Amino acid sequence: MQTILLAESIKQDDKDATGKAGTLANGGLLIGFLAKAAGVSESEIKFYEKQGLLSSTGKGKWRTLDTENAERLKTIIRMRNIGLSLGKIREALSYCEMPDPQRRHEGMVRLLTTQINELEQVGSLISMQLEVARAHLGTLAGSGAVESAAAAAPSVDGPAAR
């Protein structure tokens, strides 16, 4: 829905310095205008094209994405923003294309559950590393090493401030 609104806003009122609208007569959205409206670079869109996640028509500055590919771009951006890898984005897009809504839903739930589990594991590892670092800092503080290092460190204001 958001991408359709994005596409509609480009069709209606987005023009470049020459006054050319962001869409062509065939309804395709110019890559540059779509990139600007979606908050991504043209090179990012080109990257997704090279990876086979999007397909465009035309060449150079006249390359366009149809509304379906504009929707896919928005989905890709959302998935990237929640931390999915390129492989998982590809997998999620394959689920999005499944005609059976039940299978589509089950696939996405399985994929996102895996992502949540992986993030929880990373969080646990970070917590353990933080505990080790705090314990190490406590050991250093007890030995006087922290105070010695702080006294020997240069001042933020420079040597003249001492």
Domain boundaries, the chain: 1-85, 98-152
What CATH number is given for 1-85 in this structure?
1.10.1660.10
Q: How far apart are CA 100 and CA 45, in angstroms?
A: 29
Q: How far apart are CA 129 and CA 133, in angstroms?
A: 6
Alpha-carbon distance values, 112 to 26, 46, 76, 133 (Å): 36, 26, 14, 31
Distance separating the N- and C-terminal Cα atoms of the chain = 62
Number of neighbours of residue 14 by Cβ within 10 angstroms? 18
pTM for this predicted structure: 0.63
Each residue's pLDDT tens digit, 86-124: 999 999 999 989 999 999 999 999 999 999 999 999 999
Each residue's pLDDT tens digit, 132-155: 999 988 887 777 766 666 666 676
Dihedral of CA atoms 79, 83, 86, 90 in degrees, nearest 10, equals -40
Q: Which residue has the tokens 């406590």?
A: 138
